[in-house]
Structure 1
């Protein structure tokens, strides 16, 4: 009988006898739950959240809202820019995508406008008071090409999804370190190249490659944080791992305020991201992965060094005595679809996938809503980062005391209530709309608290062999939701007033119901194999 409660011999996949050994017990016994070694690895992994934040959200500064108007033809040189704009504009739309035919206007500016056809503006002038250069102004991504700004973010999210899947599979098969460093390299190099691209489509191709690297960095760094710690620190460290995401927002906003040019901003972010290549010399392979795959000799080398940094001395002979006797054999790593082949894991994976979809929909839709509240885009983004940091900090205390599932539910309930309050409190009823701003801030903090708890909860429900694939698989649905978020925002006042908030309130309450069938993972051993996860 297994420690998980039933006989594992009935499963057909050829896992070695080492699968029945809890790698938590081995690593904790040798190096302890948390020490200097775990602190160092965890700390440098959390710093990787900075570039993840930069590239997921820098579309805010690459293509910010920017006023523009039709360029004045040479034949209207005697008119001022303001006079030209009044003459050519039909005043039927916010931006001058269509203007009165300038050739006919030149004949007589007083001509009856009903007799003058509208034509597409051939060239635009952009207000560069706030930003000297954006991808919008560089490539005229307005009017009929405005959808390309949304495509840019969709490509980023699809790249992160695909990158997470590809590098998740590679990390489960070949170890955590090498795929992580390849991801870091791709991310930095692609960011440099993107800052020099001369046209939109070549930029978009490089942007997708950058997203692949960013997806790999995100999924592998999180898994490493989970695998290097044990005991109660397996709760706090993966949650604290999310903190720099908000800090990354604030840093990016500061850089954007200083540079005001998307190419300079992208080049600067590339330079900072490239510094993480030095991690090759600072991080070892995950000892838990080495143990789970039966690579005992390599695991002992890593554990010996880790133990020394934690003030524990072992000889290789002593370490060997602590290791179980195991015959190394070829292993089959489960893919994401493998989690749908058994009843228990199929239910878990399905519920987590839907929960992540609703989480992504709320986060990215509400991020746009929160950004529209403040007049200063730099302040708005910085404020968002600060709020998310506070949400993650409070999450640490709650998830330690209340458990994973309960914590996710609490924060999702807070978010849902804030959406309801935003529907109840009318606009412009208070000075500066302060109650709506307050509820919006608390709602965002609720999402910022639920996301790290949901990451932790998801990671503990999937086994070590397949954790990268499992997490990247369920979080893929959050990326898909992020792609439709702009469409949801655009439905405001089209279907019914405040339709996006009504939808988000409904989905937030639905998320709580989706949590109920899932087991609590607090103080439970992490499953190493698919069999153990099925029996959990």
Structure 2
């Protein structure tokens, strides 16, 4: 008889799905709204503006945006992009540090801490008196926000049965998409960047209170032998899910006995020692970098394609929903490798297809603006779909013993791409949008080629050990 695992026992005791799990998932999805707003709001509070530098004291900028409040023109024009880049740097750092802290102290304490610090950092950025304070506050905001974001994902992952986890990252993207769509409306109603930040930060107090009704991860409690807390959690969960608790004490004892037989901890350098896994890791690094760079490069600079910034942004946000649905359906019927490669090719070709509508005209007309906006949004649709798919794909190529650290390391590569993306605005000013789109298109196509050297994991048994993963990653 097959030995019961922690997953099976938790499923047998708590149940695969019920109100207990629903509360956690809705909390996570709704909380993701703020991540999208924090990451993309720079498009509205520091938009591309026209100015002249004949007089360093000129006051031709209008509006209550960061550029005006802190005089970010001429030799200071790159400081707004720098603040966004440092925000992304904070995200990269926060994911690693708070990931370790949540492993040590639990998911819920770190969620509470990061939520509180996120609110404080947001308030500081809204009340900033100069660009230095604003940049520091934004960096801290990125640091704690991504720690909260990844900790939320870990909590949901550890509270759901495995059959729901396959599409977990994609489903949680609905929260990001909702934030994407809400942002232009908030920015339109509150053009003052300080008011806009306050309107999106203060509501987080609701989620801070909601956290009081969110349980600790049962897997974390098991891993840290918090048996009394686990017993209380189980009683609460089975009551919410209306599940029988017959003989659950014996199953808890089974969990205790299994703790002495857990796999030895492995690290990312163990992956780099294995040739096939090393190749896969390097390709995944490049894939995550390109996805983040192109996705944020288009998203943060959507206004530069012409037309109305608010309408462009809203449509770009709405496009996120069909891209999520496509990812969910495609994962079920199409192999990961051809799917990601095809999406990268499509995104790259879409970016290149915009160039004729830019390079052949020097005036902004309806006949040239809408084709380039439409094609650019099609490219964003494909890169967004790819971004959603590489999360579960990456988790499948790594073995259980390093899966979390593998995905987290790839996420750092994505943060590097998102750190560079804000400076696309300056690159556009000095070289033109055609150069920017050529870079986007070339990188996407190059990544599509590299994806062909990844293993196909659809229908494959997921590896648990380094040796099993090495064999899986040798599959062509």
Please classify the TM superposition score into its range, dividing by the shorter chain length.
0.7 to 0.9
- RMSD between superposed Cα atoms in Å: 3.2
CA contact (8 A) 1:371 1:380 kept: yes
Partner of residue 123 from structure 1, selected from 30, 54, 57? 57
Q: Per the alignment, in what secondary structure is the counterpart of residue 59 of structure 2?
A: strand
Aligned to 2:295: 363
Deviation at 1:526, TM superposition (A): 6.0
Deviation at 1:222, TM superposition (A): 2.2
CA contact (8 A) 1:185 1:277 kept: yes
Aligned pairs for 1:453-472 (under 5 A) are 453-462=389-398, 467-472=403-408
Deviation at 1:365, TM superposition (A): 2.1
C-alpha distance 355-97 of structure 1, shift in aligned 2 (>3 A) = same
Aligned pairs for 1:467-482 (under 5 A) are 467-482=403-418
Aligned to 1:253: 184
Aligned to 2:454: 518
Task: Give the Cα separation in 2 of the matches to 1:198 and 1:415.
Answer: 41
C-alpha distance 383-374 of structure 1, shift in aligned 2 (>3 A) = farther
Q: More displaced, 288-297 or 214-223?
A: 288-297
CA contact (8 A) 2:84 2:138 kept: no
Spell out, residue by residue over 1:268-294, the C-alpha distance to the aligned partner (whole angstroms, 9 max, x if none).
111022322124312222223444556
C-alpha distance 191-359 of structure 1, shift in aligned 2 (>3 A) = same
Task: Give the Cα separation in 2 of the matches to 1:243 and 1:413.
Answer: 24
Deviation at 1:184, TM superposition (A): 1.4
* Structure ID, larger Rg: 1
Aligned to 1:97: 53
Aligned to 1:6: none
CA contact (8 A) 1:389 1:448 kept: no
Aligned pairs for 1:439-454 (under 5 A) are 439-454=375-390
Q: More displaced, 525-534 or 181-190?
A: 525-534
Partner of residue 419 from structure 2, selected from 463, 467, 483? 483
C-alpha distance 224-177 of structure 1, shift in aligned 2 (>3 A) = same
C-alpha distance 331-163 of structure 1, shift in aligned 2 (>3 A) = farther
C-alpha distance 490-453 of structure 1, shift in aligned 2 (>3 A) = same
C-alpha distance 253-369 of structure 1, shift in aligned 2 (>3 A) = closer
Aligned to 1:117: none
TM-score (norm 2): 0.86
Deviation at 1:355, TM superposition (A): 0.8
Report whether the alignment pairs 1:421 with 2:348: no
Task: Give the Cα separation in 2 of the matches to 1:511 and 1:56.
Answer: 24
C-alpha distance 424-148 of structure 1, shift in aligned 2 (>3 A) = closer
Report whether the alignment pairs 1:409 with 2:323: no
Unpaired runs of at least 5, structure 1: 4-19, 68-94, 99-120
Aligned to 2:439: 503
Task: Give the Cα separation in 2 of the matches to 1:357 and 1:148.
Answer: 23
CA contact (8 A) 2:23 2:214 kept: no
CA contact (8 A) 2:19 2:240 kept: yes
Report whether the alignment pairs 1:223 with 2:154: yes
Task: Give the Cα separation in 2 of the matches to 1:144 and 1:451.
Answer: 35
Deviation at 1:460, TM superposition (A): 3.9
Aligned to 2:128: 197
TM-score (norm 1): 0.77
Task: Give the Cα separation in 2 of the matches to 1:460 and 1:312.
Answer: 31
Aligned pairs for 1:85-484 (under 5 A) are 95-98=51-54, 121-128=55-62, 131=63, 133-292=64-223, 298-315=229-246, 316-320=248-252, 323=255, 325-326=257-258, 334-423=266-355, 431-462=367-398, 467-484=403-420
Task: Give the Cα separation in 2 of the matches to 1:381 and 1:463.
Answer: 39
Task: Give the Cα separation in 2 of the matches to 1:521 and 1:348.
Answer: 12
Aligned to 1:50: 33
Unpaired runs of at least 5, structure 2: none
Spell out, residue by residue over 1:329-349, the C-alpha distance to the aligned partner (whole angstroms, 9 max, x if none).
999855544543444543332
Deviation at 1:379, TM superposition (A): 1.5
